[in-house]
Structure formats: C-alpha cells, structure tokens
C-alpha cells in the first residue's frame, strides 16, 4: 500500500498541499494521506477531504492525530489502530521534507518511503553543498559566492547577480540585483529566510532545461527534457502553478548531443545518493556546455507532467527503495573488560 | 539542565556507552541520562545505574521508557511525566548520532542539544562528502577513490592503500592492503558495513595530529593539539580505549607554524556547519603541509582529555546552540486561488 505525506513546518507548506492533491489524482493506488501541520502534528486525512480548504480552514484538526511508531504510525487511544506496511511518498517540499528531517524520522522508525535519504537531502537542500557535490562529480556549475549575515560582500564576478537564501526552494527570497546599490535590500530579503545567501552571476536569456527521473534497480527511468516557460526568472507566484501541473510540458528543441549531456549530468548527480527518490534537476546550457542549476529532490507535483508513464515510474520505484543495512549490536568489548577485571 | 543521550542502533553502540559513562564523570552538572537501545527505544537511566553492566545485562529494560514529544520526552502512562527544558548532549557515536538521525529527531521535536546538526552530520559521516567539503574550503586531503560494491577497482595511486567503509567511524571494517592480492578481502570486509568503500594511499609513518574545539558565539575554544600514540594504525581495540580516556594527552611537539596551520584548517572545517557541536578533526602532516584525515563530529568521550577546561568549554557551548528560525506558515496562495474561483 502507498500513502502520501505532505505539509510540513516550512515556507513551502502551502505548495506541498497543492502538490499532494495533484499527485493524488495521478496515482490511482494511493490509499492513505498524512498531513504534517506547522506544529509538527501528523493527521490522517480521508481521501474525500483531500482539498485545499481542509487545510487552510483548519478543518484537518478534527481528523485523527497520528504518532510515529516502529514501522508506521498509530492513532486512537482506547481503540488503538496502526498504519503499518504502508510506503509513504514524501511530498513535503522545503523544510522537513527536503532537509532530511522526515527522512531521518522514517529511518528511525523503520518506515519505508519514496524520497531523498538524509545525505541526498543535505547536498540538495543546501545550495553551497550542491555546488561542491556537482563539481566533485564532474558536473559544471555557475560561479558563486557564499555570504554570511553581517559579512562584507566581495564578489569575484560582475553584476547583474542573483541572490538566493542558502537553503530554500521555490524561488522564495530570491532577487535579481542589477547593480551594487540593490545588494543590501536583496541580502536583507534572503536573510529573512536563512543566515547565509548564495550569490551567482545572473545570465540574461540563459537557456534552462529540466529533467526528472530515477534509477530503479539498474534501469534509468528518465523524463522528457523540458524547456520551461519563464519570465525574467521563475518567481514564486509563477512557480507555484508548477505544483498543480498535470500536463502541457514544453519539450525542449535541442541537439541530441546536448540532450545526452543533460542526461549524463543527471545520472552523475543521481547516482548513488538519490536512490529511492524521483528527482528533477534544472540545468543551464551556456555555449553548448551543460551546467547544473539546482537539484529538486522532491520536485513540484513530482514532475508528473514530464513523464508519459508517471504512474508506472512511481510504481517501479516503489519496489526498489533502499533498505537499511542490518546492524548487529553486541556487548563483546564491555564483556571483555568486565572479564579482565574479574567481575 | 543538561542530560546525556547515548547508545544507538549502530556498530558503535558499545563505545557510546563507555563514552557516556566517561563524560558523565567529567561534567558535574549532568542530571539526566537517556539510553537509546538497538531497537530504537529510549530509556531514562538513573545516575547511579550509569555503569556498563546496566546495558550489557539488559537491566535497562526495567527502567522508564520514554517517547519523544514537542520540547522533550515523556514517560509513564496514567501518571504521565515530561522531561522538557533539558539540553541533551548527543554522545551517540556512529549511526543514529553522527549520521544526523537524532539531530533531525531533535529538530522535529524542538529539543535543544549539543552535537552536529543534519548538514554537518552528512559531510562528516560520509567520507566521500568529507573529502569534497574539505577541498571546497581549501583544506587539503589525501587522494582517494570511491568503490561501489560490484564495481571494478582502478586505483589512481599505488599500494599500500587503506580501505574504509564509506560511513563508519572508529576504524570498524578498515584494512590496510599492501598489494593487489589483498584487495578483495579488504573490500569484502568493508562491504559488510557499507555498500561503498573509500580507498586512500596508506602513508607509512605519517604524522597524525588531533585537535578538538568549538566556535562558541564569536570565540574559538580550541584544545591542545595531540600527537596520538599509534600502532600501524588505530584499530578498534586500541581506539576503543579513547572512549574511556580522561587524561594523559600527548601534546604534539610541532613548529608554531604547523600548529597555526592545523588550527586554521580546523576553523575552516568547523565554520559554520558545525555550530552547536564540539568536534575533533584528525590531521596528517606531510612535507610540512596539513591534510584533513577525518572529522569526528562526536569524538570519543568528547575529547575531554584534550582540554584543561573541558567542563567550562561545554558549559559555554551549552548557552550558544543554534536555534531554529521562526517559520510562518500561512495560506495566502490557497486563499487567493479560492477567491479567484469565486469560492
């Protein structure tokens, strides 16, 4: 059985709700829904209540509250019920979902799930770690500078630049800065969300391409490559619509060579840290060279609109999630020390 | 109030117990102890029961079992009690403690703690991520090759080499391989613990130096630099003793210039991902150049023996742990969409 978990204490709480509703319509088999509210409480949501108003109105608070237990969740008090043996699809965008918190909670309670594991979350949620990760794997990235709150800004590249909070997605807190005079305001905006900001050259008119996929066992299941429609850059209002998208992907018209390079870059990024997740990587192409822009380890509406066989891809992935290695705990050393002390 | 949490479902379960007992003797103020057993159950351990036998004999199972709740832990059924407002010192070595699982659990439940946060855990627990992290920060590392189970080994450097499971500490599963014929056995050993192994040149007689510390507010609290006594390399039996050490550190006799370089490398590694933790970095010095060997985000017995003011350092750190940014969740977008639909 499969369920969807969504919500989260995060700036992307709302879009997670929209995303979960969208995905629930694309996968017939999903039988359970868990909403994680901003107070970190879990609620079991009946399928017929999977509409935005359930959450914005607070109506969800009347639904059964869940507690994590080994293997799943439990609810009820005198008549206690267990939800075990369910694989949860993690659609908590941003904090809680993409920073590895829920992945760790699931690891701790031995709950099977689809989504990024803790190390994958770390290298995708933090844009500075993403840069070093991509470079290590031989995938090009655009220049960057890390600025911490209170530090002076000394850029090794020219304006215009793009200023991003270090750890948020969905374009929240992101500004384009055309000249130095605009930097303070852009940094103030970014620092509302994070104590660090990443600054990159802003490349006017750069070509952007998105590719989603997963390694399922030994098989790569890759989506079409889309050239997303965009304004100056994808702002939150615009991007928000992605989370409710179910179709109309704009297949990129690119040379086969570029398409192959994008696929190769995707595979390098994915393997092996992202096993168990369906991710989307956003690339730039500059002078026919492929650059990683960002990794979305839980993309909006799971990028269902990029696949012509979305339900099958997710079904295949569900059978191949990484399982924890068996750990044998023993007390050999303590016993040995006690023995040598004659106790 | 401060407490110590220890144990964990990990190959380092035992040494965490030894470490916790050692640290508890060095900090007078610790009032509470939580043992995490191999089944991921939490138990409240009375101070007088903080002896190894409580755990190796299974006697801990008769002590109160705890459940995490917002702000702390709870126990009891009819007469429910809460442990809130306690800062927990994380002394769970290896899995659960150093891989970010407990850090995420604490983040989720809003529990204050001393120890590495999730992103710091990711870059220190996984030796491949450690390499890229150090390089990015301008700290040298010894050459390396990553080998995945089932893959052929093509080393870009000569024998002898050292083979390590990708994500374990305390020398578990580590082998020195003098020539090619020994590689299969060493990899089999490493793959018992992890599906990936990191291989490095083994540098005979290399000088090793350890430094522990923390950034407390704006102040660096650094330990002495120790040159650890070692055999061919520190095997588990030998290293195990570190976890019960309370003194006799072997202050390194090195040039001031090298000592400064080691301190500078430590500061680069620490800042800012490791805030809230007391860590130990182990360095090599080769031809007067400093190389990072590994980051111990929860070192054995918290490296108390390297400090002459351990209790004060931990006390200072306890007042400066990172606090979560406030997250404001709202339903502006959902409300806007509903409004535009006329609902």
User: Does B338 sit within 8 Å of A56, measured CB to CB?
Assistant: yes
Q: Is the peptide bond before B61 cis (omega within 30 degrees of 0)?
A: no
Query: Chain B: residue nearest A41 by CA?
Result: B70
Q: Fold for domain B2-114? A: Rossmann fold (3.40.50)
pLDDT, position A324: 84
Q: Where are the beta strands (DSSP E) in chain B?
A: 2-7, 30-36, 42-44, 65-69, 72-75, 81-84, 87-90, 113-114, 140-141, 145-148, 161-165, 175-177, 196-201, 207-216, 219-226, 279-286, 289-296
In this predicted model, what pLDDT tens digit does every residue of A62-88 receive, in sequence order? 999 999 999 999 999 888 999 999 999
Q: Which class is A143-201 in CATH?
A: alpha beta
Chain A residue at shortest CA distance from B70? A40
Determine the Cα angle at A132 with ends A267 and A324, to 5°: 60
CA A244 to chain centre: 16
Q: Does the pTM of the predicted model rise above 0.90? A: yes
Among A242-251, A307-316, A328-337, B328-337, the minimum mean pLDDT is found in A242-251
CA distances from A231 to A201, A228, A234, A280 (A): 17, 10, 6, 20
Query: With contacts defined as CB-CB under 8 Å, which chain A residues touch B195?
Result: 272, 325
Contact A55 B14 (CB under 8 A): no
Only one residue has tokens 């940094």, namely A187
Distances (CA, A) of B323 to A195, B9, B49, B110, B181: 12, 27, 32, 9, 51
Residue of B22, B37, B136, B268 to mutate, interface with A, max A Cβ within 10 Å: B136
Domain ranges in chain B? 2-114, 122-140+204-318, 143-201
**Most B-contacting residue of A40, A118, A244 (CB-CB within 10 A), to test interface:** A118
Residue B294 CB partners (closer than 8 Å, separation 6+)? B124, B127, B130, B169, B281, B282
Give residue B324's pLDDT.
84
Q: What is the pLDDT of residue B155?
A: 95
Contacts of A118 in chain B (CB under 8 A): 99-101, 104, 118, 121-122
Superfamily of domain covering B122-140+204-318: ATP-grasp fold, B domain (3.30.470.20)
How near does any CA of chain B get to the CA of A101, in Å? Answer: 5
Q: Do A38 and B9 touch (CB under 8 A)?
A: no
User: Measured between CA atoms, how close is B253 to chain A, in angstroms?
Assistant: 33
A134 forms bridges with which residues in the sheet? Answer: none
Nearest to A299 by CA among A316, A314, A321: A314
The verdict on a CB contact (< 8 Å) between A100 and B109 is no
Any bridge partners for residue A87, and if so which? Answer: A2
Burial of B251 (0-12, 13-18, 19+ CB in 10 A): exposed
Residues in chain A: 343
The Cα A17–Cα A280 span in angstroms is 19
Give the gap in angstroms from C-alpha A144 to the nearest C-alpha of chain B. 12
Placement of tokens 């891809």 in the chain: A313
**Considering only CB atoms, which chain B residues are within 8 Å of A53?**
334, 338, 343
Q: Which of A71, A150, A151, A329 to substitute to test the interface with B, most B CBs within 10 Å?
A: A329
| Angstrom distance (rounded) from CA B153 to CA B252 | 37
> For residue B272, is the peptide bond before it cis, meaning its omega torsion is within 30 degrees of 0?
yes
Residue in chain B closest to A77 (alpha carbons) equals: B77
Contact at CB, A132 and B131, closer than 8 angstroms = no
Longest alpha-carbon distance in chain B: 77
Largest Cα span, chain A:
77
Contacts 24+ apart (CB under 8 A), B240-245: B240/A333, B240/B15, B240/B18, B240/B170, B242/B300, B242/B301, B243/B15, B243/B16, B243/B18, B243/B19, B243/B22, B243/B93, B243/B300, B243/B301, B244/B18, B244/B19, B244/B21, B244/B22, B244/B301, B245/B22, B245/B300, B245/B301, B245/B304, B245/B305
Instruction: Give how far Cα A153 sits from Cα of A157, A163, A203, B170, B279, Å.
Output: 11, 12, 20, 40, 29
Give per-residue pLDDT as tens, A191-219: 999 999 999 999 988 999 999 999 999 99
Please identify which residue in the block is written with the tokens 């209002």: A237
Contacts of A327 in chain B (CB under 8 A): 9-11, 38, 95
Identify the closest residue of chain B to A102 by CA–CA distance.
Answer: B104
Task: Mark yes or no for CB contact B101/A107 under 8 Å.
Answer: yes
- Close Cβ partners of B184 (under 8 Å, ≥ 6 residues apart): none
Dihedral sign, Cα of residue B158, residue B162, residue B164, residue B168: negative
List CB contacts of A75: < 8 A, sequence separation 6 or more.
A44, A64, A65, A66, A67, A81, A83
Is the separation of the CB atoms in B21 and B108 below 8 Å?
no
Closest residue to B108, CB basis, from A105, A328, A338: A105
Using CB atoms within 10 A of its CB, is residue A228 exposed (0-12), middle (13-18) or buried (19+)? middle
The structure tokens listed for A211 are 């590719």
Token pair, residue B17, equals 């117990």
A343 confidence band (pLDDT: 50, 70, 90): very low
B338 has a pLDDT exceeding 80: no
Radius of gyration of chain A (CA): 22
Partners of B134 on chain A (C-beta within 8 Å) are none
Range B42-58 average pLDDT: 96
Query: Which residues of chain A neighbour B103 with C-beta distances below 8 Å?
Result: 104
- Asked if A122-140+204-318 and A143-201 have one fold, the answer is no
- B74-94 b/e with 16+ CB inside 10 Å = b? bbeeeeeeebeebbbbbbbbb
Question: Which chain A residues are closer than 8 Å to B132 by Cβ?
Answer: 132-133, 135-136
Task: Decide if A70 and B99 are in contact by the 8 Å CB cutoff.
Answer: no
> Which value does ipTM take for this structure?
0.94
Query: CA A123 to CA B130: how far, in whole Å?
Result: 12
Residue A184's region, left for phi above 0, alpha for psi from -120 to 50, else beta, is alpha
**Which of A99, A101, A327 has the CB atom closest to B95's CB atom?**
A327
The whole-angstrom distance between A231's CA and the closest CA on chain B is 19
Closest residue on chain B to A54 (Cα)? B334
Edge-first strand listing for the sheet containing B145-148: B145-148, B196-201, B161-165, B175-177
**CB < 8 Å to B129, chain A:** 119, 122-123, 133
pLDDT at residue number B117: 97
Tokens of A30: 């999903």
Residue of B nearest to A124 (CA): B119
Phi, psi of A311 (to 5 degrees): -65, -40
Does the pLDDT value for residue A338 go beyond 80? no
Secondary structure (3-state) at B165:
strand
CB atoms under 10 Å from CB of B228, counted, come to 15
Stronger pLDDT, A238 or A169, i.e. the higher one: A169
Mutate to test the interface with B, among A9, A172, A325, A333 (most CBs of B within 10 A): A333
Helices (H) and strands (E) in chain A, counts: 10, 17
Per-residue pLDDT tens digits for A275-324: 999 999 999 999 999 999 999 999 999 999 999 999 999 999 999 999 88
| Count of residues in chain B | 343
The beta-strand segments (E) located in B85-206 are 87-90, 113-114, 140-141, 145-148, 161-165, 175-177, 196-201
SS3 B12: coil
Contacts with B240 from chain A: Cβ below 8 Å: 333
Distance from CA of A103 to the nearest CA of B (A): 8
- How far apart CA B117 and CA B93 sit, in angstroms, is 14
pLDDT, tens digit, 9 for 90 and up, residues B220-243: 999 999 998 765 555 556 656 667
Between B250 and B43, the higher pLDDT residue:
B43
Rounded to a whole number of angstroms, the distance from the CA of A106 to the nearest CA of chain B is 9
Q: What is the pLDDT of residue B343?
A: 44
DSSP string covering B245-259: --S---B----HHHH
């Amino acid at each position: 059985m499969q369920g969807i978990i969504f919500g989260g204490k995060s700036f992307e709480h709302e879009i997670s709700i929209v995303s979960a509703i969208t995905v629930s319509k694309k996968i017939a088999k999903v039988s359970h829904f868990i909403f994680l509210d901003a107070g970190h409480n879990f609620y079991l949501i009946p399928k017929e209540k999977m509409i935005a108003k359930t959450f914005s109105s607070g109506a969800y608070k009347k639904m059964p509250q869940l507690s994590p237990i080994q293997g799943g969740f439990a609810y009820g008090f005198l008549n206690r019920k267990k939800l075990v043996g369910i694989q949860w699809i993690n659609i908590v965008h941003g904090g809680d979902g993409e920073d590895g918190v829920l992945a760790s909670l699931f690891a701790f309670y031995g709950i099977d799930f689809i989504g990024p594991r803790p190390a994958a979350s770390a290298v995708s949620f933090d844009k500075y770690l993403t840069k070093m990760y991509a470079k290590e794997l031989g995938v090009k990235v655009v220049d960057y500078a890390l600025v911490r709150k209170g530090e002076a800004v000394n850029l090794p590249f020219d304006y215009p630049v793009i200023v991003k909070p270090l750890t948020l997605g969905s374009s929240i807190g992101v500004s384009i800065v055309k000249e130095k005079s605009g930097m303070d305001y852009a940094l103030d905006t970014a620092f509302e969300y994070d104590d660090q900001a990443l600054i990159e050259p802003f490349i006017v008119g750069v070509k952007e391409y998105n590719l989603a996929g997963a390694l399922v066992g030994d098989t790569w299941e890759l989506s079409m490559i889309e050239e997303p429609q965009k304004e100056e850059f994808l702002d939150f209002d615009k991007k928000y619509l992605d989370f409710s998208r179910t179709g109309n992907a704009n297949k990129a018209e690119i040379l086969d060579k570029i398409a192959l390079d994008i696929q190769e870059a995707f595979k390098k990024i994915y393997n092996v840290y992202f096993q168990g997740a369906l991710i989307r990587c956003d690339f730039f192409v500059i002078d026919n060279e492929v650059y990683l822009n960002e990794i979305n380890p839980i993309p909006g509406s799971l990028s269902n609109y990029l696949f012509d066989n979305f339900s099958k891809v997710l079904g295949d992935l569900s059978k191949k999630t990484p399982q924890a290695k068996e750990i044998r705990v023993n007390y050999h050393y303590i016993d040995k020390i006690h023995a040598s002390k004659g106790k």
